[in-house]
Structure 1
Amino acid sequence: MHKDVSQLPQKANPALVKQANLFADLPTKLIEDFQQEFQLNQWNKGDYINSDILTQRFFVVIEGNIEIKQSNPDTGREATLDMLYAGDCFDLMVLLDNQPHEVIISPLTTVKLLSVKLSTMRYWLWTYPEFNQQFMPYIAKKMREKEQQASSLILHDVTTRLSRIILEHINKIKFYTGTKEEEHQHHLVNGLNDETLARMTGSVRQVINKQLQHWKKEDVIDKKRNQLIIKDLEALEKEAKYTQNLANAPLSKS
């Protein structure tokens, strides 16, 4: 059973606002003005968040991971539309077209967010050119991600799609555990179980599990519950078949 959503009725401070890439480079005075309109929220894993809230408030993730999904009520099958990380904003679609967006908002961890009234966010975009200049590249980045996601579903097999998703996840969380000497090849991926990876890949859990077990046998990864330890980053990048013109291409080597 879903738990009720929990919120912290607190005001944000300028330091929190600067954590979001969208606001980080704005003039200090503008950030101080903006922060007065933000509310600090917290969602926990398992919380139910009604998507109607997206027509009222605009959210910026400060900490944690959120999966945005849609489901087929006839089959029960779910697909991941987006994975949100610290610094990401949502919902861009509602912000731009002012239409409801029926999605499933699923916190994968405890998530801390800044939220602001949707009308206020639109006012900022219309009123402050310096903010608009920060916002447009972010929209373009998200559009490119969606383009890559759509083309990958059509043009590449499950192994390639799965390896790309894992690499993109590593790129976004920038989390490493291990010795300095092995930093270039040991990376930890938390919170993505087989079912989640299947939704993100456009596949099914059994196929994803089979591929992960194959990589484990080949010593490319180590798999423990909802945790993947990447042991051979180069092998994973080879499976991803990246080209240099892809935005989320391989991680830089040490």
Structure 2
Amino acid sequence: MEKNISHLPHKASPVLVKQASIFADLPVRLIEDFQQEFQLNEWHKGDYFDCALLTQRFFVVIEGQVEIKQSNPETGREVTLDMLYAGDCFDLIVLLDDQPHDVIVSPLTTIKLLSVKLETMRQWLWSYPEFNQQFMPYLAQKMREKEELASSLILHNVTTRLSRIILKHINKIKFYISGKEDEQQHIAKGLNDETLARMSGTVRQIVNKQLQRWKKDGILDKKRNQLIIKDVEALEKEAKYTQTLPNAALMNYQPQNKR
């Protein structure tokens, strides 16, 4: 049975506000002003979220992972519109056009969020140039991601789409463990076959077949609700990027505390 969302009984601190990329570089005086308007929320996996709240409050993820979906009630088919991580915010569409947005907000883990009245968020964008300068690049980034998603569904096959989705996922969370001979093995949590099928516009059976092939080739391993990426470079080749490999910095990153 679905549970209702819960609210922590205290307001957000400036430290929490700075964890969101759109606020991180703002002057201290603005962050101190903004934090007084924020409420700290905590949701758990399986919690029910009424999308009508998106027309009332603006949410920023500061911890955990959230999937944004849409579904066809006639067929039951679902598609993933976005996967949100710490620092991401939603729903940008409602913020811009003030119209209802029929989406399914699905926490994949226990998550913590900052929320503020939607009208307050709009007022900040209109009143503070410093904030607008922080927000617009993030908005452009999300628009590019949507463009890439749409073009990928048409221009690339399932193998390419899947590899790009996984690479984007591990590049955002940057979670790794130490493997054989001290090699880094990147962990992609929350990406089971069904989730990957929703994200790549295909069905679970095709996703499973591709993941099994990569497992046989030593590119990755599967364990329950997570993928262990053993060969990022091989996955980059499957992604067929024509520009500088976006995960190059991740591949060369040396962790201070390996897990």
TM-score normalised by the shorter chain: which range applies?
A: over 0.9
TM-score, scaled relative to structure 2 = 0.94
SS of equivalent to 2:22:
helix
Question: Structure 2: 5+ residue runs without aligned partners?
Answer: 253-259
Cross-structure match for 2:40: 40
Q: CA deviation at 1:217?
A: 0.9
- Return 189-198 or 35-44, whichever deviates more: 189-198
**Displacement after TM superposition at 1:96 (Å):** 0.4
Partner of 2:246: 249
Q: Which residue of 2 aligns with 1:182?
A: 183
Give, in whole Å, the separation in 2 of the partners of 1:75 and 1:108.
23
Structure 1: 5+ residue stretches without partners: none
Aligned partners of 2:10 and 2:102: how far apart in 1?
Answer: 27
1:44 partner letter: H
Corresponding pairs, count: 250
Instruction: Name the residue aligned to 1:217.
Output: 216
Asked if residue 229 in structure 1 is aligned to residue 228 in structure 2, the reply is: yes
Secondary structure (helix, strand or coil) at the match of 1:223 reads: strand
Question: Does 1:53 pair with 2:50?
Answer: no
Shift of 1:244: 1.4
**1:95 to 2:92 alignment:** no
Percentage of matched positions with identical amino acids: 74
Q: Matched residues in 1 for 2:91 and 2:211: separation?
A: 32
Using the alignment, how far apart are the partners of 1:28 and 1:136 within structure 2?
20
1:107 pairs with 2:104: no
What SS does the aligned partner of 1:105 have?
Answer: strand
Query: Partner of 2:162: helix, strand, or coil?
Result: helix
CA distance in 2, matches of 1:227, 1:54: 30
Aligned match of 1:156: 156
How much has 1:250 moved relative to structure 2?
A: 3.0
Distance 1:251 1:228 in 2: 19
Amino acid at match of 1:71: S
The letter for the 2-side match of 1:207 is I
Q: Which aligned runs of 4 or more in structure 1 are off by greater than 4 angstroms?
A: none
* Counterpart code for 1:37: E
Distance 1:151 1:9 in 2: 44
> Cα offset for 1:20?
0.6
Residue type of the alignment partner of 1:72: N
Instruction: Name the structure 1 match of 2:257.
Output: none
Cα distance between partner residues in 2 of 1:6 and 1:33: 25
Contact 1:243/1:249 (8 A) holds in 2: no
Q: Distance in 2 between matches of 1:80 and 1:202?
A: 9
Aligned to 2:255: none
Q: Which residue matches 1:137?
A: 137
SS at match of 1:79: strand
Matched, 1:4 2:25: no
Write the distance in 2 (CA, Å) between the matches of 1:243 and 1:65: 29
In structure 2, distance between residues paired with 1:110 and 1:52? 21
